Amino acid sequence: MLFVQLLANGLQTGALYALIAAGFSLIFGMTRIFHAAHGATFTIAGFIFYELFAILHWALPIAAIASAAAAGLFGVLLDRFVYAIIQRHEGSFFTVFVASFGAAIVVQNLISIFFGKGMVTVTTPLSKSIEVMPSLFIAPISGIIILCAIVAFLILQWLLTRTNLGIALRALGENPNLIEVYGLTPRRLSQYVFLIGSILVVPAAILTSATSGLNPSMGNHVMLISIAATIVGGVGSLRGAAVAGMLLGLAENLCLAVIDPQWSEAVTFVILFLFILFRPGGVYGRAIVS
Amino acid sequence: MLAYLQNIAVLFCINAMLALTLNFIMGYAGIFSLAHAIFFGVGAYATAYIAMYFTDSLLICMSASILISALLSMALALPALRVRGEYFVAASLGLQVIGVTIFSEWKSVTGGLGGMIGIPRPKLFGYVFNDDGMFLLLAFVMLLIVIGIIALLVRGSFGRSLMAIRDSESAAQSYGKHVNAVKTISVAVSAGLAGVAGSLYAFYISFINVESFMLETSILLMAMVIIGGTGTLFGPVVGAALLMSLPAALTYLPFLPPSELGTIQQIIYGLAMVLLMMFRPGGLVGGRSREKSA
């Protein structure tokens, strides 16, 4: 029974990780920007939702939309006023990464000034575990998380394969120089990528506020998970990010059957490390040699 | 007041050493490691363990720290040989997280989250460094030695091989440079010298726990290197001095609430990182022309 319980927990964590990683994977795959501030987008979305929904008692949809707007705005502004300027003088990936990291540090500390360094949680009856079978506890919110992940990936899949914008975005990921020949501007497309990628993290942020709670410094963990899932899945492959997110979530929980819980986070990064050493292209990626 | 300044000076020496050694692989070899705090930590724990259970001899503790750090740095050298760019940054982030977990959970050696308390001051040729002034002298001498070693390596043929590899690995290889050997040695030297800083830190503070070796430390060190100037010899020293004096300077501003000082300091250095990358990616010491290599 322990195994089934861990499997259920793993599915929930995995779906959440897949949702978290989707936005980062999209941004990194399409624009090659190592968007370390993705974790900051997550915290912004989570805390705005918490403030509006739990403190000011706005209706759920309005609070969710406001939090999505804030996340999207943050991503687009960062791209427009920081990354674009750095890329203008051909900054290397590390220059962009450091700037992004700096922005994440600023956001984390601003949030901790407004909300304190402690944990905040949105209380809802949905996150209370129910005994489905003898000694198997599942919260209804796990189902919602998995559903959200499936819906988000279906929408994204549709957007990327069936709309003109999506096709242009995929072309951006393939060859940014070539698409200029077709009359598209990579910079404008990059703005759309950041808008979509940043909004993608919102469901995960809202759901996390109800399950494990939010604190200002959790952006780092979100960033690490996104990077791990993106690379394990294969850069540029959304399907890969989803599979890898699920894989990491399951591994983190299933390993609890044999080792102590404090080591479970390390399992994720051992997997990442092994992938980088032996299969840097990831599950679905092309082989990458140095 | 003198004790306060001495304290800052010793910590500055330690941080400058770390920034210098990080810059050695970051600026000259193009290995952007976010796991430098781990080797700092390995050096500190190795010294703490030996000093508490075996001997407080400076030479033995410090050599052990150097050796163990350099050996463990092979875990970083391995991905450095296989992947570049974003992939290596991700690998080093992974290593950082794994290292922190080991520091905080391998209780029999590292003391777990509580850390190790009561590390004795070191002994050199029968003299015990109990006086903080003398310890500052020791730290300063070690800093000079580290600067000397790095300057020698960078200015010599080894440094030129490193920079050649940084700028184009295949070109360096075609000129007969042993790319893998040079990279591995540079990582080992960097980690070994970071072990020296860790050793001094453990001796000086006499209490260590995992808090000092987290991702935040690695980022702070990276910020020192970048704000000072990557790929310059004295940039990291300037960066360390700037970031170390920031908290001290902030305490003199009367309008800031003391409880938020740490937070405000973090915001300032986050902003500094963003703005420098936008307008002066070569750092304060480096010129604008270096931006491509940064």
Per residue in A1-11, pLDDT (tens digit) is 788 888 888 89
On whether residue A82 sits in a domain, the answer given is: yes
Domain of A216, CATH number, reads 1.10.3470
Asked whether B189 and B60 are in contact (CB, 8 A), the reply is no
Task: Indicate the helix (H) or strand (E) that contains B291.
Answer: none
Mean pLDDT taken over chain B: 84
Structural domain that includes position A225: 2-278
Interval A120-129: pLDDT, tens: 888 777 777 7
Interval A174-192: pLDDT, tens: 887 888 888 888 888 889 9
Task: Indicate the helix (H) or strand (E) that contains B254.
Answer: none
A138: helix, coil or strand? strand
Asked which of A142-146, A251-255, A284-288, B45-49 is least confident by mean pLDDT, the reply is A284-288
Phi-psi region of A90 (alpha: psi -120 to 50; beta: other; left: phi over 0): left
Q: Does A113 touch chain B (CB under 8 A)?
A: yes
| Cross-strand partners of A137 | A131
Interval A108-146: pLDDT, tens: 999 988 888 888 888 777 777 777 777 777 778 888 888
Distance CA B215, CA B35 (A): 7
On whether residue A283 sits in a domain, the answer given is: no
**Domain boundaries in chain B?**
2-212
Q: Look at residue B144 and tell me whether its pLDDT is greater than 90.
A: yes
Q: Look at residue A63 and tell me whether its pLDDT is greater than 70.
A: yes
Comparing alpha-carbon positions, the chain A residue that sits nearest to B168 is A290
**pLDDT, position B286:** 62
| Tokens standing for residue A214 | 């939010």
A contacts of B97 (beta carbons < 8 Å) = 224, 265-266, 268-269
A contacts of B292 (beta carbons < 8 Å) = 90, 92
Distance CA A220, CA B215 (A): 9
Q: Look at residue A73 and tell me whether its pLDDT is greater than 90.
A: yes
Mean pLDDT taken over chain A: 86
Interval A199-247: pLDDT, tens: 999 999 998 888 888 888 888 888 988 989 988 888 878 888 889 999 9
Distance CA A87, CA A187 (A): 10
Interval B241-283: pLDDT, tens: 888 887 777 777 777 777 777 788 888 888 888 888 888 777 7
Instruction: Specify the number of domains making up chain A.
Output: 1
Comparing alpha-carbon positions, the chain A residue that sits nearest to B273 is A102
Contact A98 B91 (CB under 8 A): no
Burial status of residue A178 (CB atoms within 10 A of its CB: 0-12, 13-18, 19 or more): exposed
Asked whether B158 and B182 are in contact (CB, 8 A), the reply is yes
Distance CA B62, CA B142 (A): 11
**pLDDT, position B288:** 45
Predicted TM-score of the model (pTM) = 0.85
| Cross-strand partners of A138 | A130
Distance CA A259, CA A221 (A): 21
Distance CA A80, CA B171 (A): 36
> Which among B98, B222, B223 has CB closest to A270?
B98
Interval B29-63: pLDDT, tens: 888 888 999 999 999 999 999 988 888 888 888 89
Residue among A236, A200, A201, A238 at smallest CA distance from A222: A201
Comparing alpha-carbon positions, the chain B residue that sits nearest to A91 is B292
Beta strands per DSSP E along chain B: 116-117, 123-124, 127-128, 207-208
ipTM of the complex: 0.82
Give chain B's radius of gyration (CA, Å).
19
Identity at A196, one-letter amino acid code: I
Distance CA B26, CA B283 (A): 13
> Which among A90, A108, A224 has CB closest to B93?
A224
Cα of B253 to nearest chain A Cα, Å = 18
